[in-house]
Amino acid sequence: AGAGGGGGAAGWGAPAAFLACALFGYLPLNFPGGRLFMGDGGSQSVGFLIAAFAALTASGSGGPVTPLFTPVAFLPFLFDATFTLAHRIRRKRNIFEAHKEHLYQLLVRMGRTHEQVTTLYLTLTVISTTVAIVANAMDPRLQFAAVALLIGLYLPLALAIYRRAADLGLFAEPRRRVSEPPVERIRPLPAAAE
């Protein structure tokens, strides 16, 4: 039996509803605009719970569920994180340092409103979830085609955003270490007087 009293998918409804209610408490403070930040720990925990509820609900649905179901449903967010990480590694940036180079952050910095970016990600998530549902009914050997289809949709969009952001100079230069003196203060020593 799942949590919440029932077995299978129905058993996860109550905990998922509690999480949804808790998150709706953030909505008036964060949409539009962000006035209350839950931080990395909070957002990662919420992301894990949402993914876990999706996987548990799908697996308790009575039919077989592909292991790709949850990652495909949440592909816009997984793609953003993976693409950003790869881009930072390629540019030799510290991947553990705070930055504003996620696709959604770049879109806002390029002039899109929070509402427009949220609508875009909601639309991409609906598309991904629809593809995940359709792929779940497909022959398992063909399910990776669904992933390839979505990546084929998201990659050109991401590359266009990154090209535009680069043209606008939105990628920060790496920070120098605190122990490093500023470059302009390093001068050659005067020659010894003879």
- Tell me the domain boundaries of the chain: 66-171
d(CA 3, CA 64): 20
Please state the separation of Cα 76 from the chain's center in Å.
7
Q: Taking the complete model, does pTM exceed 0.75, yes or no?
A: no
| CB-CB contact of 80 with 102 (8 Å) | yes
d(CA 152, CA 171): 24
| CB-CB contact of 115 with 108 (8 Å) | no
Preceding omega of 32 cis (within 30 degrees of 0): yes
Percent of residues, the chain, with pLDDT higher than 90 = 31
> pLDDT tier at 167 (50, 70, 90 boundaries)?
very high
> pLDDT tier at 193 (50, 70, 90 boundaries)?
low
193: left (phi over 0), alpha (psi -120 to 50) or beta: beta
E strand map for 35-120:
none
**Terminal Cα distance for the chain, rounded:** 91
